[in-house]
Amino acid sequence: MSTKPPFVIEEYVRWSDVDAAGIVCYGAFVRFVEVAETELFRAAGMPYAKVFDTFDCWLPRVHFSGDFFAPARLDERLRVTAFVKKLGATSVTLGFTIDNQVGTRIAQFEIVLVCIDRSTFEKRPLPEELRRSLSEFLE
């Protein structure tokens, strides 16, 4: 269990995120999750360029799931909390919660990344240095 405070980014709902009803279209949530994922790795000292080049691997997403609880509207500022749910032998499971500024839960997501060799695309163990860095955000 991490002693660090939760990792949080804040992001506004943009015009390109909303549908005709003026609320975030479900597919636009992928952007919020991707930004939080990228910044979580950066905060762990492992920006993706470093991971890919240092460890000669890719981390493709093999699972993406979400639950939606309330609408988010244009120009609303969202709080995206990202954390590591599980560090497996070859994969990492990340969790995300999205709340608005008054604390209403908008949605929550889970993604699974699998470590693969860059040249063969075969599954391989997560590099130990990456595991150590991400474990700081394990919940």
DSSP code per residue over the chain: ---SPPEEEEEEPPGGGB-TTSBB-GGGHHHHHHHHHHHHHHHTT--HHHHHHHHTEE--EEEEEEEE-S--BTT-EEEEEEEEEEE-SSEEEEEEEEEETT--EEEEEEEEEE-EETTT--B-PPPHHHHHHHHTTB-
Place of tokens 């990792």: 7
Domains of the chain, earliest start first = 7-135 (3.10.129.10)
- Per-residue model confidence (pLDDT) at position 6: 84
- Per-residue model confidence (pLDDT) at position 96: 98
pTM of the prediction? Answer: 0.93
- Per-residue model confidence (pLDDT) at position 34: 97
Local mean pLDDT, 10-residue blocks, the chain (139 residues)? 76 95 94 97 96 97 98 97 97 98 97 98 98 95
Tell me the two tokens of residue 67: 């639950």
